Amino acid sequence: MANRRDSRIEPSFEGPPRAKSSAGFSVSEEDRVVPSNRKTSAKRQSARTRPSRRGRGKSRRGLFAVLGRLAYWCFVLAIWGGIAAAGIVVYYGAKMPAATTWAIPDRAPNIRIVSVDGKLLANRGMSGGEAVGLHEMSTYIPEAVIAIEDRRFYSHLGIDPIGLSRAMVANVVGGRFSQGGSTLTQQLAKNLFLTPDRTLERKVQEVLLALWLEHKHTKDQILEMYLNRVYFGSGAYGVEAASRRYFGKSARDVTLPEAALLAGLLKAPSRLSPARDPKAAERRSQLVLAAMRDEGKISAKELTTAMSAPASRVASYWTGSENYVADAIVEELPDLIGDVRGDIIVDTTVDLTLQKLAEQSIRRLIDGSGKKLNASQGVLVSIDNSGAVRAMVGGYDYSTSQFDRASEARRQPGSAFKPFVYMAALEAGRTPDSVRNDAPIKIGKWTPTNYGGKYFGKVTLATALAKSLNSVAAQLTMEVGPDAVVEAAHRMGVQSDLTANTSIALGTSEVTPLELTSAYVPFANGGYRPEVHFIRRVTTAGGKVLYDNNGGGAPRVIKPEIVGMMNSMMMGTVEIGTARKAAFAWPAAGKTGTSQNSRDAWFIGYTANLTTGVWFGNDDGGPMKKVTGGALPAQAWHEFMVAAHEGVPVRPLPGTWRSTPADTIVQDELPPNTAQPAPMPSASVGQSAPSAQKASPPRALRPAETVDAGGFGMPGGGGTTASIKRPVPPGDVGGPVKKRQTSILDILTGG
């Protein structure tokens, strides 16, 4: 019995009592197929009531697992995003031409127009200014642009990931496209090759082109190309055009405040232009100065000085009258050199000093008397004996009206057209001493009347021209025929169509101031008609000559004796006639003109040095208040010519003519087959004057000289030109002559 009891207590663990089966068998825990969970339940109960270190370790491992999984999927997404981006780049890149064909397009050519002494008159072309090397321009300009636009320009490879990320975040947060992450290289790529559209395709292409630019060019080359092509507002492309547009100076001379203003414009050129919103431009320039200080480009002292002395800009870049000249030159260039394919330099005949004198004279008279006399516009054209235009003012203010009244506006010349009437009469056999009866006449239904209704009776042609008597001019037109007058005017240089009727004697056909002034030049140079021109030479920026006006034949259009008689008569206009206000210390001649109701007032006058024409009036054809050619035009002419002849040796007008003594003067007979004019109330043309008739006292012999081609610098001679004391074009500048149909009168007169 004892052994059996010991065998029952062998297990060392305490367990539940054995269960007896109904058959008398007992089953222990070891005998169970599925162990009881009582012990496990007890352990779990203990774990609930007492935390363990093992549990805390498991929670940490769970957090790391989550982070790991997050990093994994981010990495996966990054890979797929990179693949997608690469696919987009490949797709849009494939639509571009092969990289081997990429090339920097030519910059829009600039036309640099300079005066006869090398001073800049204007820049023309899409850029509006010449290209300036990075080493030539003010150092403040590139520093300001880099500080505000791309401060990591010299360190990135064409794309700035930091700037791009910053812009993306700002755009996402703001919910709109408010910032751009483009570098200067990307902006240059866009300006050179792409449209401004904000599309994914264009952005991808911009990036590819930026990388290509960085590979092909140095940083300085990229920056120089950018600064010479970027838009600065108000029609200015490139720093040179912008500097002259806003400050009236070259980019070489730009100061720190001016450079900051230019750099500030790049964000929004049109909106921030100082010509449109000076205050906005100034505020932006102060931000640029602060950025330059942050980048160490300027010192604190320079910042303070620049802030206290902001950039001062010119009132208006386009106000100078020299711009009328520049426009005329640009229109003429294609006929001389064809298409402009690169930067060129145009050397002109214009003297900038004379140009400014002319502009000041026109403006002073309009500012002083224009409102009182209802005169709002004025024109002045001055041409030397070789046909070179020395000055041309096309209106009161170019900035308010670019219409060139000198070369484009056709107006009635009035009595300023009469010299061609008298010239035709002299060529038909009359002389300055020929007598006509100045009295009221009627020609058909037309009754020409003198200014003021005053008549002088028997007068010589010299007196009639000096006093601008309309009745005598009408009589002479009837005698020689309107066709002869028209032919004479065209031969002298008038190009407009002229109506061949009797009223042409009083200047009823319209002409431009430029052509009318040019038609007086043969009186001043001895009878030759040179080609009127503005351009002396055209060269490339590298010095290659594209066009050179080396002179040319100037045909004789008036016989020397006719020149002498005409100059003798027209000197009377200045000495005793309607243009006495124009007289100065030089022998001068010319003719005034006033159209009906004082709509146009003219004076075209000349010395042996310069021929200058002046016009005053209104664009709408409105009448002025009793303004005649002897008033404002003669005053402006006097001011200009006195200044233009300062220090120039006095020269007499060409040609000689001696007046017939008074006691031998008889009225000339009409040539055969000349139509008789209509009857006059108190006199009839063609009657012989009795020898006892009183005539005008003989005019003293005026000092004069017979001038041939060489006398004013035409080919074969070395004459002088206008504006001594200043560089002038060579005397043989004349240019090719435009051919016109030769008339029988050209042959008879040697033309």
Catalytic residues: 149, 415
Q: What are the φ/ψ torsions at residue 223 (nearest 5 degrees)?
A: -65, -40
The Cα-based distances of 602 to 125, 406, 577, 699 in angstroms read 35, 12, 14, 26
Q: Is 123 within 8 Å of 327 (Cβ atoms)?
A: no
Cα 551 from Cα 714, distance rounded (Å): 8
Residues 6+ apart with CB under 8 A from 356: none
Closest by Cα among 538, 606, 534 to 350: 534
- For 551: left if phi > 0, alpha if psi spans -120 to 50, otherwise beta; the answer is left
H-helix segments, 9-138: 38-49, 53-94
Cα 684 from Cα 679, distance rounded (Å): 6
DSSP structure string for 625-653: SS--TTTHHHHHHHHHHHHHTTTPPP-PP
Residue indicated by tokens 């204007």: 122
Please provide the distance, in angstroms rounded to a whole number, between the alpha carbons at the two ends of the chain: 170
Residues 6+ apart with CB under 8 A from 609: 384, 385, 524, 586, 644, 645, 648, 651, 720, 721, 722
CA angle 596, 602, 607 (to 5 degrees): 150
Q: Is 702 within 8 Å of 659 (Cβ atoms)?
A: no
Closest by Cα among 157, 230, 160 to 191: 230
Q: Is 592 within 8 Å of 723 (Cβ atoms)?
A: no
Closest by Cα among 668, 676, 608, 749 to 432: 668
Cα 622 from Cα 364, distance rounded (Å): 21
- For 193: left if phi > 0, alpha if psi spans -120 to 50, otherwise beta; the answer is alpha
Q: Token pair of 648, please?
A: 């120039």
The Cα-based distances of 582 to 10, 574, 641 in angstroms read 152, 6, 9
H-helix segments, 366-512: 371-373, 418-427, 461-466, 470-480, 482-492
Q: What are the φ/ψ torsions at residue 274 (nearest 5 degrees)?
A: -65, -20
**Amino acid at the residue 597:** N
Q: Is 610 within 8 Å of 638 (Cβ atoms)?
A: no
Cα 139 from Cα 263, distance rounded (Å): 12
DSSP structure string for 694-738: --PPPPPPPP-B---GGGGT-TT-----S-TTS----TT---PPP
Q: Is 189 within 8 Å of 196 (Cβ atoms)?
A: no
DSSP 135: T
